[in-house]
Chain A
């Protein structure tokens, strides 16, 4: 078999133009972090965290959409296994941090900033809508943002759709609040089981989910892996180049991505809040809506809720803004360093419609289920709350329905 050309095997080193551009972007982002850190150290931390999330998602192709969809479509659990490994790490980290925030969890209150939200029909409808939307659009909210950084034009259209969906949801939020969310129960496991029991239960649930993924894979055919080829990496220089290539050149294994993203999520909560994406995007959507005269009225109940609530107003510079801008910038940076940046324009015009419609469904769904695949899933299950599991089931169902839709769109 002809071997693909591998960069570290080349004797002469010649910098790729995207490497140089990547180093320039790195210098620019480092400068921005230094500037915002002078105003407030936490701003610098959240800018760096955002960049870390973006780079890790890009490197490991950490796509929540593929995690769910590939289970149905290809009976492949490669991405989902990485997501589960990541959530197990986050579960331990969040458990310890919540204990320090609220040593006695049996008092009837939930640890501050934990993503424990009401179990209502809105959560299920939102999860189904989100699952359908992400498969039709070809990426969830965090996925669309990191793809924007990689140069995917359709992802910019998805993002516009997400903002439209969030704005639409803001105009109907009070109905969902009054009919479903206000009186729905919040089930936060530490209240009943203590932190130890809740962490053990969540880890057992994640182990069960991992076994379920293995079972799905076992029904899709043999798992064929090519044997690792011993390369000519003997000298010190060659070994260093191989290390650099593994970090910034090749894609990371999904589990490595899960662990890195998980550690960043724990750090984010330690400083302020679990990783969130869509609440901040809703602030941009309602703000832009206000500019064209379609701002929503007062949103009921949002101060009583945790996780990613619809938001209006607030200061310009927030932790959420830095996380999302960083997510975009980190992905752009990582794509440049890996020589994977390319402006990709879909040739089939139907793809733009898919991106827009899928985006609207995701935006609306995320608003009524108080989060996307990040806030209502990846940060919610490790918050030791039942709503994360309910949302996951709804996402799985939605992605199955979404797959039936795209199978009919050639």
Chain B
């Protein structure tokens, strides 16, 4: 699943990511494109709370691709 929240500021990147995680089918990975620096830290922390591992990859000036996937043993809601 791909979620592009570039151009959005707080709290939309976090809220849309959390909503997408709730809908994410089992076994799938969520890819988030974001250009709001505070959101990178907050999404990492909020996703960890829900049992997701997050990889952060810079893809340009102040732009990141986040890959979120469920840690082992965490089941889809």
Chain A interfacial positions (CB closer than 8 Å to B): 1-2, 4-5, 18, 61, 63, 65-66, 69-70, 73-74, 76, 78, 138-139, 147, 152, 154, 220-224, 226, 251, 338-342, 344-348, 351, 406
Starting from the known contacts A251-B38, A345-B7, 12 additional A-B residue pairs (CB-CB under 8 Å) come to A61-B38, A70-B42, A73-B11, A76-B46, A147-B9, A220-B49, A223-B49, A224-B48, A340-B37, A344-B6, A346-B8, A351-B8
- Determine which of A4, A78, A340 lies in contact with B57 in the assembled complex, contact meaning CB atoms within 8 Å: A4
Given known contacts A226-B48, A341-B62, A138 and B10 CB-to-CB distance under 8 angstroms = yes
- State the CA gap A348–B36 with chains docked (Å): 15
* A3, chain B: closest CB distance, angstroms: 9
Cβ–Cβ contact B15 & A139, under 8 A: no
Name the residue on A nearest B48 (C-beta).
Answer: A224
* A234, chain B: closest CB distance, angstroms: 25
Q: Is the interface of A mostly helix, strand, loop or mixed?
A: loop
- State the CA gap A5–B55 with chains docked (Å): 11
* B2, chain A: closest CB distance, angstroms: 15
- State the CA gap A152–B10 with chains docked (Å): 12
11 residue pairs bridging A and B, Cβ less than 8 Å apart: A2-B55, A4-B57, A5-B57, A61-B37, A69-B11, A74-B11, A154-B9, A220-B49, A224-B49, A340-B37, A344-B36
Name the residue on A nearest B57 (C-beta).
Answer: A4
Question: Which residues of chain B in 15-38 are interfacial with respect to chain A, using CB atoms and an 8 Å cutoff?
Answer: 15, 18, 35-38
- Determine which of A69, A251, A347 lies in contact with B37 in the assembled complex, contact meaning CB atoms within 8 Å: A251
Q: Is the interface of B mostly helix, strand, loop or mixed?
A: mixed
Q: Mark B34-59, 1 if CB is under 8 A from A, else 0.
A: 01111001100110111001011110
Cβ–Cβ contact A339 & B46, under 8 A: no
- Determine which of B8, B41, B49 lies in contact with A222 in the assembled complex, contact meaning CB atoms within 8 Å: B49
- State the CA gap A347–B38 with chains docked (Å): 19
* A350, chain B: closest CB distance, angstroms: 11
- State the CA gap A220–B18 with chains docked (Å): 14
- State the CA gap A345–B6 with chains docked (Å): 9
- State the CA gap A143–B77 with chains docked (Å): 36
Residues of A within 8 A of B57 (CB): 2, 4-5
Chain B interfacial positions (CB closer than 8 Å to A): 6-11, 14-15, 18, 35-38, 41-42, 45-46, 48-50, 53, 55-58, 61-63
Q: How many interface contacts (CB-CB < 8 Å) are there between A and B?
A: 82
Cβ–Cβ contact A342 & B10, under 8 A: no
Name the residue on B nearest A223 (C-beta).
Answer: B49
Residue with the highest number of chain A CB atoms closer than 10 Å, among B14, B35, B41, B49: B49
Residues of A within 8 A of B9 (CB): 138-139, 147, 152, 154, 344, 346
- State the CA gap A348–B13 with chains docked (Å): 13
- State the CA gap A4–B54 with chains docked (Å): 10
- State the CA gap A106–B44 with chains docked (Å): 51
Name the residue on A nearest B8 (C-beta).
Answer: A346
- Determine which of A76, A147, A222, A342 lies in contact with B63 in the assembled complex, contact meaning CB atoms within 8 Å: A342
- State the CA gap A2–B6 with chains docked (Å): 23
- State the CA gap A368–B16 with chains docked (Å): 35
- State the CA gap A2–B69 with chains docked (Å): 13
Cβ–Cβ contact A342 & B62, under 8 A: yes
Name the residue on A nearest B55 (C-beta).
Answer: A2
Residue with the highest number of chain B CB atoms closer than 10 Å, among A69, A224, A340: A224
Cβ–Cβ contact B49 & A66, under 8 A: no
* B34, chain A: closest CB distance, angstroms: 11
Name the residue on A nearest B18 (C-beta).
Answer: A74
- State the CA gap A81–B37 with chains docked (Å): 20
* B50, chain A: closest CB distance, angstroms: 8
Cβ–Cβ contact B45 & A224, under 8 A: yes
* B74, chain A: closest CB distance, angstroms: 12
- State the CA gap A345–B36 with chains docked (Å): 11
Name the residue on B nearest A74 (C-beta).
Answer: B46
- Determine which of A61, A66, A73, A220 lies in contact with B15 in the assembled complex, contact meaning CB atoms within 8 Å: A73
Cβ–Cβ contact A76 & B38, under 8 A: no
Residues of A within 8 A of B8 (CB): 346-348, 351
- State the CA gap A338–B36 with chains docked (Å): 13
- State the CA gap A241–B25 with chains docked (Å): 42
Name the residue on B nearest A7 (C-beta).
Answer: B58
Name the residue on B nearest A406 (C-beta).
Answer: B11
Name the residue on A nearest B67 (C-beta).
Answer: A2
Cβ–Cβ contact B62 & A339, under 8 A: yes
Residues of B within 8 A of A345 (CB): 7
- State the CA gap A66–B41 with chains docked (Å): 13
- State the CA gap A347–B37 with chains docked (Å): 18
